[in-house]
Chain A
Amino acid sequence: MASIEGTILDFKRLDQLARGGTSLHRIDARAKVVVALVFILSVVSFDRYALTALLPFFLYPAVVLALGNLPADYFVRKVALFLPFAVAVGMLNPIFDREVMIRLGPFDISGGWVSCASIVVRAILTISAALLLVGVTGFPEICRALERLGVPQTFAVQLLFLYRYIFVLTEEGARSSRARELRSFGGKGLGIHSFGSLVGHLLLRTWMRADRIHMAMLARGFTGRFHALQPTRFGGRELLYLLGWSALFVVLRLRNVPDLLGSLVTGALR
């Protein structure tokens, strides 16, 4: 639990980064959210053996990192945290799919390896896009952007609250878990049973907290609607940002640019 606690604390840093003042930070959140969505859709819609065609997409995270003045090592570590999941998903491909696709001198590379690599690359791209979006926008802003893009307010507010209370909840969970650990003296405690009631208590406490929060909201005149404060404007800059990136992603999706470049170069050599 301590490590989960640490990870969550580390995520608070994303929030700090989101309050940077670069021109990228100042772009209306809706433009950034839509661009990230187009990016993710383009990446995941590729054929399962696509690999080289994916590589130009690294341009987007690289540019966002640079323009947003974000610490690259921090994001690399965060993405690495999720990679084992992607590897686990792709792990069995080389076993089932042994048909040789590429011959590199004496090495035969099967389709399984290619699709496995493709999954990992896609994971890196999509996860870094999502993390970077939070890093230059901030989670609350994303929720508000979603709402203004037409997502029902209930969902947007749910997300907002999830984000606000995930820290409180992890702390509560970590405290309970620590209390259990300290009284189980290195053994298993009472095993899985004690965890059952621990989680149950956590749920009840969460419920009670939700009740108290609702009370605090009602006490301040809440009538079921969240009102936006100073809304930002969707202007020319936003339009340019949105259209520029989207056009690039669509082109990269439809044309295998590394292939084109390759044939250009080899064509010139011939």
Chain B
Amino acid sequence: MEELTFHHTTRRRAGGTKRMAIIGVVASGNLEVLAERVLTDAECRLDIKTAAEGFGAVWSAVVTDFVERHSPGGLRFSINDGGAHPDAVSLRLAQAVRMMEEAEQ
């Protein structure tokens, strides 16, 4: 298993007030993303655990692109990866941010 961590500063905080969101399932080609609003407004962090070792550069690129696109300030993302394609990773991360920015019920 490989564990990766990425810290980024962001232009702005992620919208909304939701404290936590969970999306995805740990299965072949899939992943789960747990998002928590626990950081200061201009920082975000991603902790990834994956059985597919040696793809650090790919993760880094996907994460950098995600942070640039969504500016998820204040959010910590914890990921359990089941061997997902980078597109699936991007999708789940985007879904997680969207869930965090949803209005509370």
Bind each other? no
